[in-house]
Amino acid sequence: MASEVIRIIKERRSVREYLPRHISKEVLEDIVDCGRLAPSARNLQPWLFVVSTEKTIKEEIAKLAVHGRFIANAAACISVFCERENNHPVEDGSAATQNILIAAKAHGIDSCWVAGYKKEHSESVREFLGVPQKYMLISLIALGYSDKTVNKPKKALSEVIRWEKY
Ligand SMILES: Cc1cc2nc3c(=O)[nH]c(=O)nc-3n(C[C@H](O)[C@H](O)[C@H](O)COP(=O)(O)O)c2cc1C
């Protein structure tokens, strides 16, 4: 079990091209369930997840998010919001986002995190989705089955690890 989770974490990469294959509601719910179980400051769980699968909605989000045009071709887009009046909305929303990426991969679904926090589209996406003003957009997550393999180079462990002190 532990080795399976570690394999999934190590194999996850951002994928931006998807097959035209539907993701079931049960699987999307399970993925969001993993998001809502993320840690949050004082366990306030300030998040809200909007799952969009309708073509016209995904296309509009893609139009608004300059660096997320591929959302239009994703099977689903999960918009992660957190309440603004909260101590750690960015950290909480990011923890939930990462859980979602890993849960999706565990279901054999690829994904890409598209920036939502403090972007020119943060408010327009929120308004388009009809989400109340008390929430702020943290991320947009494109999801889809894919046959693409991506292997972005990563820094070596030895480059980024220090023991005890720098
Ligand atoms: C906070 C954050 C914002 C990101 N925003 C975008 C984005 O707007 N568009 C995009 O295509 N990828 C975006 N990405 C994905 C990164 O480009 C990607 O994670 C990075 O290149 C490393 O590749 P990997 O995810 O395959 O390991 C974002 C990732 C993070 C963590």
Tell me the per-residue pLDDT of 33-76, one tens digit each, with 9 for 90 and over: 999 999 999 999 999 999 999 999 999 999 999 899 999 999 99
The pLDDT mean for the chain works out to 97
pLDDT tens digit sequence for 62-117: 999 989 999 999 999 999 999 999 889 999 999 999 999 999 999 999 999 999 99
In this structure, the residue with its CA closest to atom 25 of ligand 1 is: 14
CA distance 47 to 101: 16
Ligand 1 pocket test, pick from 9, 14, 70 with the greatest ligand atom count within 8 Å of Cβ, gives 14
In this structure, the residue with its CA closest to atom 10 of ligand 1 is: 114
Instruction: Look at residue 25 in the predicted model and tell me its pLDDT.
Output: 98
Domain ranges for the chain, please list them.
16-146
3-state secondary structure the chain: CHHHHHHHHHHCCECCCCCCCCCCHHHHHHHHHHHHCCCCHHHCCCEEEEEECCHHHHHHHHHHCHHHHHHHHCCEEEEEEEECCCCCHHHHHHHHHHHHHHHHHHCCCEEEEEECCCCCCHHHHHHHCCCCCCEEEEEEEEEECCCCCCCCCCCCHHHHCCCCCC
Instruction: Look at residue 151 in the predicted model and tell me its pLDDT.
Output: 85
Percent of the chain with pLDDT over 70: 99
Q: CATH assignment of 16-146, given 3.50.50.60, 3.40.109.10, 3.40.630.30, 3.90.950.20? A: 3.40.109.10
Instruction: Look at residue 41 in the predicted model and tell me its pLDDT.
Output: 97
**1 has a pLDDT exceeding 80:** no
Distance 164 CA to ligand 1 centre (A): 30
Instruction: Look at residue 27 in the predicted model and tell me its pLDDT.
Output: 98
Distance 111 CA to ligand 1 centre (A): 10
pTM > 0.95: yes
Ligand 1 pocket test, pick from 61, 113, 137 with the greatest ligand atom count within 8 Å of Cβ, gives 113
**135 has a pLDDT exceeding 70:** yes
Distance 150 CA to ligand 1 centre (A): 13
Ligand 1 pocket test, pick from 92, 112, 121 with the greatest ligand atom count within 8 Å of Cβ, gives 112
